[in-house]
Chain A
């Protein structure tokens, strides 16, 4: 291994989009802090969070932008799509209207990001099974038709939250490996960080990165 074990090699930019109240901020919070916020105020602006994750033995820093979902901010939040490597598109499984709006969110994403941007559909609040308003099958079909990755998740219980963020990163990383994603393009949403020549070795260099990885 060339660099120190804790240097990250890439920065990926993510955006989280979707109707207001679907749980975007809660998903971000769950991912960065492992906590659920029961009464989270509406996001009036764009929140920012980071976390370093491990994909295929590579440290990757995620820079996540959580956008305001209220309709009146729609025009402004469009400024933030640019240069996103990953887009998490969220709806609330207990509110059909949030699902119905997906096509409009999707067309914004397609128009404002580049073709290699990985779009991940999240059906949030899957802990509220009794209030379900959108079936898994239906959403999964929508995802398939549009070539999106898809899970149902819960920012409350944490179910599938980690997976959604990590799977997105894995997909982006694969695109880099396959050369589908041009790192030099300013809008790729990925920055390369050359690691420092490692001089001081801490114990466990060998073990730290042994997480099994399919790619």
Chain B
């Protein structure tokens, strides 16, 4: 409000109050002076211990007008006197009547989920018909991930590091971790397991792409066999993405590793699905179905694969992972929708989900050298770890990752699922306020 109007306003107020003081019965609530567009509010006992004082505030009610003027008014036998602006200390609230902490228990909400995610076994031991020393179970959950955390005896998400059968183009910070093994998939796989503690490895047979080296299935098989010789863990066999060639590759390797319960990635809608699935069924292998960020496509693909004869407990769904900042929110929501639908009874979606967190490296925020963004040796792995963990919270269970540090962060997070954790009452959380850091 404009300053020069103040005097004029004061006069109005005084006149008004005089008028009011001469009347017997006055309703002071909600008084509006329409002509001036001001609301008047009179609050008794504006100052502690001075009941004769009133606070009077003028507040414009015109749209867009701002500003509020407050006066302190004294009511005395002589009349009303405007004393000026009241002290800033707001009036103390009226003391409450009963003040005792109520005890109201928080009732844990009943979750509506009725169904369960299939449990997929990765790897088979000798007695199970394979040759693996280490095997894993994936899935088997009956609630969405964020409610799972109260349980301790459940399968935790698993982490695979990527291995390539030919020297790949890798982002700087990733390359550094594998510099000595880039030409040797066997040494690479060993390093992932032994040095970086991956649960398993994902061997990408990129060289088999007819547009790249067109490596024949027999040679790809030898690579896989050599890796299996070198490590005890199950592996993911990744094709080149060529829908025809991958079928030949899968058939060759599935047969040669009969009963190993490996994971074959990926089966896509543009493949001849019965043909792709047949050797996996026959030789007891698992498959990853790659759908493209779309729940309906995921359903269609899953239905076709199950109809082709693959048991539900040999199937994993990959709804495609967009990098953080480059479409991850679509992956997050599609994964969440798939998992919720599955738990509510949608049979063809009741399978574990996989997530290629490696895609995070497509984001320039992950790999690019930009001084003001900080060191990419930390920024990059954090970008990949965040991509993985965000998807984990949406329901992903099997992670394909690249940077050892990123995997370590995400894996530590997941491992806590199976840990006996300290009771929260023993942790001095409150300290965050007064601790010096």
Whether A and B are associated in the same complex: the answer reads no
